[in-house]
Each structure stands twice: as C-alpha cells, then as structure tokens.
Amino acid sequence: MAIPVTQCIIKLHEEHHNLEDYQGGVPRWCSGCGDNAILAAVQRLCRDEDLAPERTVFVSGIGCSSRFPHYMKTYGFHGIHGRAFPIAEGVKMARPDLSVFVNTGDGDCCSIGAAHWIHAIRYNMNMTVILHDNHVYGLTKKQASPTSPMGMKSNTTPRGAVLEALNPLTVTLGVQNVSFVAQGVDWIPDLLYDIIAKAYRHRGFSFVRIIQRCPEFLPKMFEPWLHDPGKTLLLTHANGLTPSAETSRIYKNQREHDPLDIHKAREIASGEDPIPVGILYQNPEVPCYEEVRGAGQPRTAEHIRAGLEAEFDKVTIWPEEGRTQPRAA
C-alpha cells in the first residue's frame, strides 16, 4: 500500500512517545481488578514499540474489559456486545496499515460473540486480540459465563454451574488457519508484558487469553495459584518466552515447548492445574486475509457509487416495467 504524502511529512518530524501519551481517562475498574494490569502492560508495549497514537486502534465489545478503549489515548471503537471482531476486521480491511487491537471478555467473546470469534481465527487478519477471562460476567453483577468452572455459584447458577467450562485455548487451537495462541495471568506482570509483546510482533491473528482476577465477585477464585508458584507451568523456548532469572527463581515449574508443535500445544492447553503460561502456538506462515483480498486499495467516489448502484439494482422494481429489471449498462 502506498504511503500517503501526509504520513511522509510526519515521518520527517518523528517524535518519541512517552507512557503518558497513551494514557486516556482514569480507569474505573475495581481496585485489584486484573484489567488494570493488562492496561499497564499494553500501554508499556505502545511506548516501547513507539506506536503512533493516531495510527493505533483499540476495538471492544461490552463488559468490564471493553472499557479499554476509553483508557487509551488512541483511536478507539466501543462496539456492541459480541461484535468487536467484525468491527476490527472492517477497520483492518479499510486501513491495513493501522495497528489494531481487540479487547474482549469471556462473555463478550465466548458467548454472544462466539461465531465472530471462530471466523476471525479463520481469517487470520493481522491484529492483536486480548481475551480478559475472569470466569464471570462482572459488569452485570455476577452471572455465570461460558468459562465459569463447574459448580460455581452465581446469580444465574445459584446451585452451581452444571456445565464444564469452555476452554478458549483448545477452541482456538482447533480452528483452521490459527496462527498464534498464548496465555498469561495478571499476577505475573513481566511475563504478561512479554506475551503481549510477542503477540503484537506476530503477523496474523494473535490470540492471547489472560486469566485475570475479579476481586468483587470472585475474590478467592485464584488464591491457590497466587500462593503456590508450583501451580503455574511456564512454557519456555528460544522461539517463545525466556523468563528472567528473578521470575525463574519463583516459578520453577517450567517446560520447554516448541510453539511450532500444534499437537503438543493442544495437549498443554487442556491443562488447568498447573496453569500453562507462555506461547502455546505460533505459525508465521499462515496467510492474512487482508493480504489475500488486497485490502486498502484506493477506491474513488465513482467506484463506490457504481458498486452501490449495482447492489441496489438487484432488488429494484422499475415502475414502468412492474417487475425486477437490472439497470441498463
């Protein structure tokens, strides 16, 4: 895609961006909410990658996680429930040169938005997707979500959830054209940042599930994992994560895993105790939909009008004929 003249002029006067350049409104999440850790990691990534705020877009649906665009001083689109993916895909098709992020929750993505999620994986468009998974509908005050564990009591399951929880990792790894899958937890900030950074640098649909705490409705849900580092399995590899010496001293339960091995990735993704943290799968060879379809091609007003007229003509009934008739060429 050709670089606009205005962009070339801007490049002559490039400036370095500080962390404050990405900080929008004051977050209204509860104190201790894992969303705060995710926001801090993403803002740090934007600074380190020196992403131009005017060329960066955050798209979300509905839920606690979906307030994310309000707290980023970039372009943002707060969509409707479950529809973050088609909005982000439209942005990427029109402007493939932009850095596009999607922030979605376990209800927003895995319930009402499940169909869009599955096909977004197939399209493999170059965007970074962060699934904020706290196992509960927090914004609407404690209803069971698709990822709520069996037996969890909520306002919609007062006797306990009767279904086994959906696993977003195994679902994503089972879809054709999957190219990047990772998992992080909000209470290990250095690895959380490393995982999101790896996802951003991947060319394709980068899916990062982040297990995050909800101190308001599930305050004790992840207490065992917080107090016992052995219940976390760090996935290490030269092409994946290399934990720092400090992190390795605390989290000694580690396993070398090649992200190219999708079969091992599916096996590891099925485990919940210990929780796997790291890059499960990465395949940079999967083609991106926007490249296959030649997204971002310039279209004149006449071209757009002709296309609209052609579509309208398919359903137009011409008065003089009294029947459906295509417009004369």
Whether pLDDT at 179 is above 80: yes
**What pLDDT is recorded for position 126?**
98
Q: Which of 8-17, 144-153, 188-197, 219-228 has the lowest mean pLDDT?
A: 8-17
Q: Which of 150-164, 191-205, 229-243, 309-323 has the lowest mean pLDDT?
A: 309-323
Identify the CATH homologous superfamily for domain 18-293.
Thiamin diphosphate (ThDP)-binding fold, Pyr/PP domains (3.40.50.970)
- The beta strands (E) that lie in the chain are given as 56-60, 75-78, 99-105, 127-133, 136-137, 143-144, 180-185, 205-211, 232-236, 254-256, 275-282, 317-318, 323-324
Average pLDDT, the chain: 92
CB neighbours (10 Å) of residue 299?
Answer: 10
**What pLDDT is recorded for position 303?**
82
Render the burial of 17-40: b for 16+ CB within 10 Å, e for the rest.
beeebbbbeebebbeebbbbbbbb
- Is residue 56 a contact partner of residue 101, using CB atoms and an 8 Å limit? yes
What is the rounded end-to-end Cα distance, in angstroms, of the chain? 32
CA distance 235 to 255: 5
Residues 4-13, mean pLDDT to the nearest whole number: 54
CA distances from 81 to 42, 69, 199, 327 (A): 22, 15, 24, 39
**What pLDDT is recorded for position 307?**
85
pLDDT band at 323 (very low <50, low <70, confident <90, very high): low
Residues 165-186, mean pLDDT to the nearest whole number: 98
**What pLDDT is recorded for position 13?**
54
**What pLDDT is recorded for position 325?**
56
Domain layout of the chain by residue ranges:
18-293, 298-329
CA distance 180 to 178: 6
CA distance 138 to 63: 7
Whether pLDDT at 16 is above 80: yes
What are the structure tokens assigned to 157, written together?
A: 């399951």
Helix (H), strand (E) counts: the chain:
12, 13
Contacts of 232 (CB under 8 A, 6+ apart): 185, 188, 225, 251, 253, 274, 275, 277
pLDDT band at 5 (very low <50, low <70, confident <90, very high): low
Residue 293: HSE in the Cβ half-sphere, 13 Å Cα cutoff:
16
pLDDT band at 9 (very low <50, low <70, confident <90, very high): low
Whether pLDDT at 326 is above 80: no
Residues 117-132, mean pLDDT to the nearest whole number: 98
Residue that has been written with the tokens 């409707």 in this structure: 80
Whether pLDDT at 34 is above 80: yes
Q: What is the secondary structure of 287-316 as a DSSP string? A: PPHHHHTTTT----HHHHHHHHHHHHHTT-
What are the structure tokens assigned to 224, written together?
A: 């065992």
pTM of this structure: 0.87
What are the structure tokens assigned to 190, written together?
A: 């250095």
pLDDT band at 324 (very low <50, low <70, confident <90, very high): low
Whether pLDDT at 8 is above 80: no
pLDDT cut 70: percent of the chain above it: 92
**What pLDDT is recorded for position 319?**
81
For 57-115, write each residue's pLDDT tens digit. Answer: 999 999 999 999 999 999 999 999 999 999 999 999 999 999 999 999 999 999 999 99
**What pLDDT is recorded for position 300?**
76
Whether pLDDT at 328 is above 60: no
pLDDT band at 10 (very low <50, low <70, confident <90, very high): low
pLDDT band at 28 (very low <50, low <70, confident <90, very high): very high
Whether pLDDT at 188 is above 70: yes
